[in-house]
């Protein structure tokens, strides 16, 4: 059975907020609403206005699209694309220097994985 739109949007707000390592209190202060309002939105008890959604997306350094980027649970599993999306969302919260450092670290890590666990056959 499909979840209602309030719960889907609320879950997205909570997911993005947690990815940004932001508390409900901090988000509420940034949007100029009560903490209970954020709690109610995240639980799907109420649905935000478009103005509030825009303020939330701005406070989360996210796009409105990110808050609506969901599929009904029965049609979406933990796929490769979902993991890539999580990684991209995480990287969007970091500055350019952090991203460059992560890239260099990943190149080293995957180089070692390739060398030690997937050696080329001679």
pTM (2 decimals)? 0.57
So where are the chain's domains? 5-76
- In order along the chain (122 residues), what is the average pLDDT of each group of 10 residues? 75 93 96 96 92 95 86 57 83 90 91 78 58
**How big is the CA angle at 65 (ends 95 and 58), to the nearest 5 degrees?**
50
Beta strands in 1-122 (DSSP E): none
State residue 5's pLDDT score.
Answer: 85
- We find that the CATH architecture of domain 5-76 is Orthogonal Bundle (1.10)
pLDDT score at 75: 46
In sequence order, the 6+-apart residues with CB closer than 8 A to the CB of 14 are 42
């Amino acid at each position: 059975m499909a979840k209602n739109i309030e719960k889907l949007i609320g879950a997205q707000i909570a997911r993005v907020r947690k990815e940004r390592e932001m508390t409900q209190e901090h988000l509420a202060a940034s949007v100029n609403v009560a903490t209970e309002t954020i709690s109610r939105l995240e639980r799907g008890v109420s649905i935000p206005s478009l103005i509030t959604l825009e303020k939330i997306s701005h406070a989360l350094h996210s796009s409105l699209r990110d808050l609506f980027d969901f599929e009904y649970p029965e049609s979406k599993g933990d796929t490769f694309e979902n993991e890539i999306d999580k990684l991209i969302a995480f990287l969007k919260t970091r500055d350019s220097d952090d991203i460059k450092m992560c890239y260099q670290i990943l190149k080293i890590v995957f180089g070692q994985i390739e060398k030690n666990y997937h050696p080329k056959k001679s």
